[in-house]
Structure formats: C-alpha cells, structure tokens
A and B are shown apart, each in its own frame.
Chain A
Amino acid sequence: MIRGRILYVDLSKKSINVVDKPELFKKYIGGAGVASKLLLQESSPQMDPFSPEAPIIIAASPLTAIFPCVAKAVAMFKSPLTGNLGESHAAGYFPAALALAGYNAIVIKGISSTPVILEINDEKVKIRKASSLWGLSSPKVEEALGSFGQNGLHSVISIGVAGENQVYYSNVMVDRYHHFGRLGLGAIFGSKMLKAISINGSEGIDLINPLIVKDLYEKLYHDIVGTDVMVKYHDYGTPANLLMLNELGALPTENFRETRFEYAEKISGEAIAESRLERKISCASCPIACVHLANIKDKFSPEHERGLAEVFKESKLVPYNYEPLYALGSNLRISDYDGLLLLIATCEDLGLDAMTAGNVLGWVSEAFEKKIITENETINLKPIWGDAKTYAIILRNISEMKNPFYATLARGIDAPADKYGGKDFAVSLAGNGPSGYMTGYASIAGTIVGARHSHLSNSGYSYDQNNVGKIFNSDEIADYLIEHEDWLYVMYSLGVCYFSRKVYNKQTVHKILAAIGIDYDPESLVALGKEITHNLLRYKVQEGFKMDNVRIPKRFLEPDTPWGKLHEDKLKMIITAYIKKREKEGVKLKNENNVLKDLLFSKKSSSTQEDANI
C-alpha cells in the first residue's frame, strides 16, 4: 500500500498538516522524483532562498527501510550558494526513522520568531521552542535530544553555528556522522530558526507481499555482500580514490594548480586506516558500512589539564571520505593526516560543507600568496599552504563572520573573487565547489550540466577514467552524461545509495517496485528518469540558470589531466551537444526570454486531472 504521506509544517503559523498523496508517489516513487515535483509546486519563480515562502522539501522513498542499501533521502530547496537548485542527499537513520514514523516526505515553510526544533514522534508532531540549543554544535544538540521516545528508531538532523549564521555552504548534520552536505541547506534551516528535526519512528511499515519482499531481499543481500561489487566501499572506502587519482594525475592539488601531490601517501585512505581508523558504520538498512571514522587526538582546553597538559589528549571520532580528503587535504597541501582530520573535525563542529570550505580556503591561500588580500583582511592570520591550524581558525572566523572579509567568504567561492579579485583561480563550477576529480572533459562538463553541479549528477569522471587515450568526441560524452543522469535520477528517487547502483538494474528495480505495489516496466523507468531530470532542468531555467553561459575559471584549463590540459572550446562543445540533445527531448535550455513563458504555458496546459491529483 502506497500511502504517500507528506508532513506540511509552517513555522510562521506554527501549523502542522498531514496530506496523503499516493498518486504522486506512485508516479515519481520518492526521493528526487517526488522532491523535484514538490519543489516546483511549492516555489514561485525567482524567490529569495531566505524568504518565509522558500520551502525545504525532504523526501524519502516508499522502499526505505525495506530493501538493502535503500537508505537515502533527498532534500531540495533554493540554494543560497548558487542562487538556484539546492539538492542534497543523506541517509544515516533519518530516512528510515521518517518511514517508521509513517511519513514519506516533509515540506517546511515559514520562519519562526524564536529558535525551534521539529519533533516527530509517530503521529505526534510538535514545533518546540529551543532557545537553549541555539549556539550549540550538532553533536551537542544530538546529546541533548538523546534517545527521545520510548521505542522505535530515533534520528536527529541539526545545524551548527555556521547554519545559524547562514553561511552559504553550511550543512545539516544527520545522526552525528552523515550530512545533507551540499549547497547550503544549513543556511536555510538557520534562516527559518529551525535548529533540528528529531524523529522517533515506531509505527512500522505494512507490506502487501512480505514473502516476495523476503525473496528479493535475499537475492539483493547476496549481490551486495556475497560478491565483490561493493566490497571496496567497506575496505578503505572512497578514501582509496586518493592514491588512485594521484597515480592517474587527476588529484586536485594546491587549489587545482596541479593534479599530483607529492605527499599524497601521507594523507591517503591507506595511511589513515593504518593509524587512525577506529570504526566503520552503516546507514539504517545498509549491510555495507562505508562510513569510516578516524580517532583523532585533540588538545584538552588549557585549563582542562593542570599537569602534563602537553602529554594528554582528548579522543574524538571524525568521519572521513574521499571528498574532504581532497578538498581540505591535497587542495591545501596538507601533508599529514592529523592536520587534515583536524580540519574535517572543525567543519563537523561548525556545520560546514567540507568540500566548498576547502575550495574557499584554496582561494584564500592563493589570494594571500598573490597579495590580493593581506593580514588586514584576515585579522593577522597568515593562510599559507599546508598550515592546518591557521585554516581551522579561518573556518571558525567564517562561521562567525568575524569581519566583512570573513562575511564575504561565508558567501562562497565566487563572492570573494568578485569583491577582491582572483576570479581565474576561484575554483567553482556554476557557483558550487567541485568534487575532486580532475579526470578530464566529462567530469568538468558533467558537473556544469548536472542539475546540482556534482560529479554524482551523471558520473562524468567515470567516462574520463574508462576512456583515457580515446579520441575526444563531444557527442559521445553528451550521450553518456544524459544516459547516466537519467538512470541515476531513478536511483535517487528509489532512495538507492549511489554506491549500490550496480546492484539495482532495471529488472531488479521493476521487481522491487512491483513488490510494494508500484507498477513500472523496465523501459518506462528510463522515461521516468528523463522526466525527473527535465523537471530539475526546468526549475534551473526558471531560476535563471544559463547552461551555455557558465563561466569556466581559467584554473580548470591549466593543470595536466589524464586527457591532457583541458581546452575551453572542447568543454563548450560538450555543453552545446548536451543542450541540443536535451532540447530535442523537449526541455528549453537556451533563449531565456522564451523559457519562462514556455514554462508557465506548459504548467497551465499540463494541468490535467492526473496532474491535479499529484
């Protein structure tokens, strides 16, 4: 039975409504599919991301907590960082707790006049005053909210000080070691004075075909655990990519000046595993355990130890994966894992997206080196490559917006370059901090055309790596990006973790959906993925995104990559081919004057009875 239950919360009016939309979920399944539809429904064009009307949409999937590795929820919102689509994925216990509490999605609007938390205890939902939590870090908030409720699954998502102060790349921490990391969801929580969502789910999920589900589960479990398809994610996890990409000459180093780092081994997944790895943990319903936790030793506060203060250190568990290792590691020439882990821990403590934070620090270091900024701006700090301790103070100053310079840094990578200069080495793609894959053309072009400007939009990096040495073909790359994007958005609607994408093929997806009462033949699934991508692209255009006009910072064209130095005209050829192909499918991506009109027209003309139901 597909209930499709959505919790609508208005923090201004302090109102809570529950609406069942089974048809919406039968058509768009959940996750990105449902969230993109709700985002279009709930937003008016070109709204201010911090306005009361700006919605936060978080959608899980009706398959959540049923099948292995179906663990993700998708958040959509207007990103303050890019001024366009905000899309961020996370798991932990949150999607499962939401499902067990009886909900498939949450829509939050309004702005509270005082700090609040949203407390969901099955059917009991409360907006609670929470002034006492304002100013605390997410781990402290989680301690305070403890294991609320008597039984069932508990989950807390919350923001740190960076989110409260609306840093454009602040994140939402999920169950201590996971995140809605990207594009500034934390700032939107902060603007709404929403410190946390605490869920206790104990209702359970009704299955129409428990025996079929059991059989399918058995097979999927075997594919996931009994084969070597996913074992790499458990072994060293994604940090293993660091040495591999360094070898390949694709590891962004020193703010993307280089693609090989001479100290890569010192900050590699292997090195950390050998000396600091403490635990590996899983999201709810995932048998893999890919989240790697390092045990770091940090100094106690000065008064904490009166005797041998230098000898004794406090232990802390810090989650790490490849992206922060590159962004806060090689990208800043950090050459020891303790310095690198200190920076990740600082981002955790403040509630910052480690990736964009690393790109901002990259610009700061280079701008300081080139004397574009001086100690007048930095408040006497010297941001020099490799100095983790100084970088940690800078991150804190950004989160607290210590002076106008740090307040500018809080607005992302482009804002400081616009104000102080150094645009050529302000490493952003369409406003977002790029992932650590200088693998070639498909990675960079894929990040530009992808709706959320991530390497996970369309796996372009994978094309680059598998086709090194091949003759450049923009058409072929555009086809690859489109094919992968469309299918990945099916995965992201199912709630399937990206890492398990190879296990969930068309036939399997058809079967698991049928087992819970959703009818999709394998071929229609591809059409669904296309429709979801189109919806996202429409939203992008509505908010002013001009795909053919994205600035490609010179820095991306300077270092060697496995495909040689990248040429701007070739990147543009891929983007042009992509636009042409998408337009052929019926999405207008060029000629912005007509787009809004078309969009409004298509909104009106497509309001059939079916659309009215969803």
Chain B
Amino acid sequence: MVACRFCKDPECAVACKQGALQILPEGGVTLVVSKCKDCKTFECITACTLNAITMDMKTKLPIICDNCGDCAKYCPHNVFSFKDVK
C-alpha cells in the first residue's frame, strides 16, 4: 500500500508545468482543478518516486491525497497511520 507522505518539497508540484499542484504550508499539495488541463503527459504521476499519485480515468485528473486521514481512520489494522512529521 502506498499513500502520499506530504513532502515539504514535493516532486509532483515541481513536475506540473501548469502549476496545478499548489504546495501546502504543512506539506503535500492540493489540486487546482481549473489549472489542470491540456496536459497529456501527467508528469505529476511519474514524478512521484513513491508512486503515490494515480489517475482518475473518468475525469482524467490525478487523484491527489487531500490529507483527510480517512484511510487511517477506517483501517482497523493500522496499515496507515496519521501523524505529524518534522
């Protein structure tokens, strides 16, 4: 299982030429949908060395983790944990 680790200096944001991935102060990125267009290469997906970004085939938009914590909350086996990083 792979999940976004909310990098302070995320490679996906640098790779996106449209500037559609905005870096959040606490780490990680948010997708600005209006800017994510005309992109046929999806470099955000290949840039993430952890492979934490996948594509939504219906909307043709990358699925960007928005840090909600639901995966950790609803995994009874603690496969994911949600904690502050330095």
- A370 an interface residue at 8 Å Cβ cutoff? no
- B52 an interface residue at 8 Å Cβ cutoff? yes
- B85 an interface residue at 8 Å Cβ cutoff? yes
Please indicate the chain B residues that have their CB under 8 angstroms from the CB of A144 in the complex: 2, 49-51
| With known contacts A135-B5, A135-B85, A303–B11 Cβ distance under 8 A | no
Contact (Cβ within 8 A) B49 A145: yes
- B9 an interface residue at 8 Å Cβ cutoff? yes
Which residue of chain B has the shortest Cβ distance to A302 in the bound complex?
Answer: B78
Contact (Cβ within 8 A) B49 A133: yes
- A280 an interface residue at 8 Å Cβ cutoff? no
- B8 an interface residue at 8 Å Cβ cutoff? yes
- B77 an interface residue at 8 Å Cβ cutoff? yes
Complexed CA–CA distance, A304 and B72 (Å) = 12
Contact (Cβ within 8 A) A304 B78: yes
Contact (Cβ within 8 A) A132 B5: yes
- B36 an interface residue at 8 Å Cβ cutoff? no
Chain A interface mostly helix, strand, loop or mixed?
loop
Q: Could you say which of A130, A302, A305 contacts B49, with CB atoms under 8 Å apart?
A: A130
Complexed CA–CA distance, A117 and B47 (Å) = 12
B interface, how many residues as a size bin? 20 to 34
Please indicate the chain B residues that have their CB under 8 angstroms from the CB of A145 in the complex: 49
- A467 an interface residue at 8 Å Cβ cutoff? no
Q: Could you say which of B7, B48, B78 contacts A301, with CB atoms under 8 Å apart?
A: B78
Contact (Cβ within 8 A) B11 A132: yes
CB distance from B6 to the nearest CB of A (A): 9
Q: Which of B19-74 contact A (CB under 8 A)?
A: 47-52
Chain B interface mostly helix, strand, loop or mixed?
loop
Complexed CA–CA distance, A183 and B8 (Å) = 31
Contact (Cβ within 8 A) B49 A132: yes
Please indicate the chain B residues that have their CB under 8 angstroms from the CB of A300 in the complex: 77
| With known contacts A131-B8, A131-B11, A117–B76 Cβ distance under 8 A | no
Complexed CA–CA distance, A306 and B76 (Å) = 8
Contact (Cβ within 8 A) A132 B10: yes
Please indicate the chain A residues that have their CB under 8 angstroms from the CB of B48 in the complex: 132
- B16 an interface residue at 8 Å Cβ cutoff? no
Please indicate the chain A residues that have their CB under 8 angstroms from the CB of B49 in the complex: 117, 128-130, 132-133, 144-145
Which residue of chain A has the shortest Cβ distance to B1 in the bound complex?
Answer: A143
Complexed CA–CA distance, A146 and B78 (Å) = 23
Please indicate the chain B residues that have their CB under 8 angstroms from the CB of A390 in the complex: none
CB distance from A351 to the nearest CB of B (A): 18
CB distance from B16 to the nearest CB of A (A): 13
Which residue of chain B has the shortest Cβ distance to A146 in the bound complex?
Answer: B51
Annotate A286-312 by CB proximity to B: 1 below 8 A, 0 otherwise. 000000000000001111111000000
- A114 an interface residue at 8 Å Cβ cutoff? yes
| With known contacts A117-B49, A144-B49, A144-B51, A131–B10 Cβ distance under 8 A | yes
Please indicate the chain B residues that have their CB under 8 angstroms from the CB of A305 in the complex: 77
Contact (Cβ within 8 A) B85 A130: no
Please indicate the chain B residues that have their CB under 8 angstroms from the CB of A114 in the complex: 9
Complexed CA–CA distance, A231 and B85 (Å) = 49
Q: Which of A112-148 contact B (CB under 8 A)?
A: 114-115, 117, 128-135, 144-146
Which residue of chain A has the shortest Cβ distance to B11 in the bound complex?
Answer: A129
Complexed CA–CA distance, A89 and B81 (Å) = 37
Count chain A CB atoms within 10 A of each CB in B4, B78, B79, B85 and give the residue with the most: B78
Contact (Cβ within 8 A) B47 A129: yes
Which residue of chain A has the shortest Cβ distance to B9 in the bound complex?
Answer: A131
Contact (Cβ within 8 A) B9 A304: no
Contact (Cβ within 8 A) A304 B77: yes
Count chain B CB atoms within 10 A of each CB in A115, A132, A144, A304 and give the residue with the most: A132
Please indicate the chain A residues that have their CB under 8 angstroms from the CB of B2 in the complex: 144
Complexed CA–CA distance, A300 and B78 (Å) = 9
Complexed CA–CA distance, A300 and B14 (Å) = 37
Complexed CA–CA distance, A114 and B76 (Å) = 35
CB distance from A233 to the nearest CB of B (A): 36
**What are 10 pairs between A and B in contact, CB < 8 Å?**
A115-B9, A128-B47, A131-B8, A131-B11, A132-B7, A132-B11, A132-B50, A144-B51, A145-B49, A304-B77
Q: 6 tightest A-B contacts by CB?
A: A303-B78, A129-B11, A131-B7, A132-B50, A130-B49, A131-B9
